[in-house]
Amino acid sequence: MKLPLQKKYPYTRHIFYFLISWLIQVNAVNAYSIQNNNYIILNKGQWPEEVIGLVKDYNLNIWITDKGMVYDAFQNKNSHKHTIKSSRNYLQNLFKKDHYLKSGHAIFLEVEGKNKSTKLITKHDVSTFNFIKNDSNKSINTSAVEELVIQNFRNNIDLRYYFENGKLRYDYIVHPGGKVEDIQQKVTGSFGLQIDHENDLQIKTRFGEIHHGHLLTYQKLGGNKNIVKSNFYKIGNTIGFNIEQYDKNADLIIDPLVYASYLGTADDDQYYDLKRDKSGYLYMTGLTDSNVFPTTPGVYDGSHNGNYDAFITKYNPVTKKNEFTTYFGGSNFELGIEIQLDQNGNIYLLGYTDSSNLPTTTGAYDRSFNNSAGQEIYDVFFTKFSPDGKSLIFSTYLGGSDNDWSASFRIDSIGQAYISMLTYSSNFPTTAGVFQTNRKGGVDIVVTKLNSTGTGLIYSTYVGGGNHDIVNELELDKIGNVYLTGTTLSSNYPTTAGVLDRNNNEQDLFLTKLNPEGTALVFSTYFGGSGKDYGYDMVLDSEHNIIVAGNTESSNYPTTTGAYDRSFATGSSIVNNDAFLTKFNATGTALLFSTFFGGSFGDDPYDLTTDLAGNLYCIGITDSQNFPVSEDAIKKANGSNEELIYDGFLIVLNPNASELIFGTYFGGADDEYPEAILLDDDGLVHILGETYSDNFMTTTDASDKTYNGNSDGFLLIMDLKIARDADGDGFNSDQDCDDNNAAINPNATEIANNDIDEN
């Protein structure tokens, strides 16, 4: 809200006050950017005469002209908005090279007409600049100011530009004799204008929307604030105000808040995986194209290497500070897709790259990029870091002569790595005696077991059929069996006798179990309906039953009696699919439960976990307006009414997937992509992902409350207060006692041999 007029502007009391605030804030600056220092560079002939001044930021130029303003936004942007490791469109996106383009969009906000008798008043000179004119090679000196007023911008209307709390603001001030109707802002260059049901004006751009909202009109009468009803109106692409009756002898203040959902830095930061160590520290990975990503002193790599780099961050959730952050990469593209820790705190990173100079270590299995750099072909990389992030223990390429992508991996108790990958390469390294030594066609799966020093393969095998086979997740049991899930177009994907389904429909999910030696399938099955079915993530229970989260376009996807939702949600969406949770028995021969969940549009689950009681926690994205939420949801409505604009979701079902325990949306007005979920020892839910929303929910103690631009990471921590059974004995933790030395009778012993104290 605007403060009362200060005495240095001795305007008479019939004042129309129109305030728009624009946030222009960057956290850091690199060599080729100019940080916003809260000043306006004045035009002294270096620019066309209609320009009065320029506010320059990291990816935004705001040109102040004799007609209003021009917002000239630009971004260095990935041509694919989001690099999703488990997407329903993965088959299409998989074969598209990520291109990084500089793109822009100019929006003109101009007031019709022109007044020749204007006068420019500047306040608070802060700096001087020297410009060289291109056409004359002459030097021009100019200054920068913190405030300027264009007096008589229109008849009896002044226009004031200034900064407040780091924000550029501008005010229309209407004196007696001035007419509100003369402030008709014509918007040119937008992709459309809309006034929504909350009286917010939305200006659509190629990057998102500029929102003019929270229009407030009031008068100060007798020390009280009297609200005057008002609203935006538009005629074509021109915006004005409707104002009801008010006291003509008192000042009238009209105060709309404006924010831009796409502003901030031009850098792209995407977060893909999250893990937690025994001490509670969080470890994150993803990719960034930022030169100023917040690395810490002494780490392995504190400098950006070019294009997109992978990164590793160790985060302290108590102090809300990074313990360390390091880049990892070569001169081209790297993506860190998954991170794991071993018992000693060593950090393992899996990803893919098209850099020929990615750091590798002496003696590593493969130190050479397997293709010519710059030919848009990827190799997988696998790297082990020391616990402090300061050194590489080993780093190796993995791949053949064609495209190879990473998917998922696990580390066993002695540090051996089990890695699932996708490949077009017919010469991907395999070992003798494995299940499948040849690529059968399309994209095939590869499972590789790497020794604990990163110097050699224990086994490596293809798994696949004659068409595309896409693996999204790998799990490992204690004896070394490997479990795979994903989606396949192959009619001859390998299956085994006695399983649920040996025939593919249009496109089915698969569930495959490979023996510890990599020489044979324990079981392998298709599963799905008549449409497209995708397996995205899975978890194993204590009996090696497998729970798969995915989504389906099949209205006849199999469900089970008593399941939470047995009806496929049909809507009028561009993309119509439902999410599902399906539990298979340990042999792949029967269903233990299977349920839909979601709304009537698109619902994609990305990650799945369970608590000690067996409750199922699943995160993902939805553009449905009727996704199931609970009474205690943190957000009960989708942040956008548009299809293909996604909010994050969290849903919790009971252990047999028959009942909703908790459901919520989360996010802002643009896209959210939650990528990873974990639970800590206290049952707190941690969710990591990225957002394109400038109004993503934050808390008062957040380490960063500001949207920094393009794609930002986010970390959500929620306490759902779901009853927990920490030791799995059937009693909730808040009602339980020590099984061996209960406080009631410290010397009591078990009498029923059931691990529960009977005293």
pLDDT tens column, 209-230: 666 555 556 656 676 666 767 7
- pLDDT value, residue 641: 64
The most confident of the ranges 105-114, 266-275, 470-479, 662-671 is 470-479
Of the two residues 691 and 167, the one the predictor is more confident about is 691
* Stretch 411-427: mean pLDDT: 97
Q: Is the pLDDT of residue 314 over 90?
A: yes
As a whole number of angstroms, the longest Cα–Cα distance in the chain is: 98
pLDDT at residue 754, as a whole number: 44
| pLDDT surpasses 70 at 662 | yes
- Taken in order 509, 515, 516, 519, the sign of the CA dihedral is negative
Distance, CA of 48 to CA of 130 (rounded, Å): 16
One-letter amino acid at 386 equals S
- Please give the pLDDT value at position 580: 98
Judge whether residue 720 has pLDDT over 90: no
Torsion angle (degrees, nearest 10) of CA 201, 206, 208, 214: -20
Question: pLDDT-based confidence at 144, cuts 50/70/90?
Answer: confident
Residue keyed to tokens 């085994």: 496
Buried b (16+ CB within 10 A) or exposed e, 181-196: ebbbbebebbeebeee
pLDDT-derived band at 163 (thresholds 50, 70, 90) equals: confident
C-alpha to C-alpha distance for 8 and 23, rounded to whole angstroms: 25
> pLDDT over 90 for what percent of the chain?
45
Residues 577, 159: Cα–Cα separation, whole Å: 51
Is the pLDDT reported for residue 92 higher than 90? no
- pLDDT, one tens digit per residue, over 338-349 is 999 999 999 999
Q: Which residue has the higher pLDDT, 437 or 144?
A: 437
Note if the pTM is more than 0.85: no
CB proximity list for 10: less than 8 A, separation 6 or greater: none
Using DSSP, how many helices (H) and how many strands (E) does the chain show?
1, 45
Q: Is 117 exposed, middle or buried (0-12, 13-18, 19+ CB in 10 A)?
A: exposed
**Rounded mean pLDDT, 572-580:** 74
Q: How confident is the model at residue 250 (pLDDT cuts 50, 70, 90)?
A: low
- pLDDT above 90: residue 179: no
Q: Could you read off the pLDDT of 700-717 as tens digits, one per residue?
A: 666 766 776 678 888 888
Per-residue pLDDT, 91: 41
Instruction: Give the range with max mean pLDDT: 141-150, 320-329, 605-614, 715-724.
Output: 605-614
Rounded to an integer, the average pLDDT of 256-262 is 27
Please name the amino acid found at residue 413: S
Residue the block writes with tokens 């095939």: 444
β-strands 16-23, 167-174 pairing: antiparallel
Higher-confidence position of 182 and 740: 182
Calpha distance 48→320 (Å, rounded): 48
Contact 315, 715 (CB under 8 A): yes
Can you tell me the distance from the alpha carbon of 86 to that of 472, in angstroms, rounded to the nearest whole number? 6
Question: What mean pLDDT is reported for the chain?
Answer: 80
| Residue 108 or 228, more confident | 108
Q: Evaluate whether 17 touches 253 at the Cβ level (below 8 Å).
A: yes
pLDDT of 143 > 90? The answer is no
Going from N- to C-terminal start, the domains of the chain cover: 16-25+34-76+100-260, 267-398, 528-706
Highest averaged pLDDT of the listed ranges 102-111, 252-261, 584-593:
584-593
Over residues 733-750, the mean pLDDT reads 50
Closest CA to 90 of 622, 398, 471: 471
The residue-averaged pLDDT of 476-487 equals 98
- Whole-number Cα distances in Å, 530 to 481, 558, 596: 30, 10, 15
Specify the pLDDT at position 640.
66
Task: Please give the structure tokens belonging to residue 759.
Answer: 């005293």
Structure tokens at 168: 């550029």
**Is pLDDT of 36 > 50?**
no
The partner residues of 581 in beta bridges, in order of sequence, read 549, 595
What's the average model confidence in pLDDT over 589-613? 95
Section 383-397 average pLDDT: 98
pLDDT value at position 99? 38
Average pLDDT, integer, range 11-30 = 29
- pLDDT grade, residue 83 (50/70/90)? very low
In degrees and rounded to multiples of 5, residue 254 shows phi and psi of: -115, 120
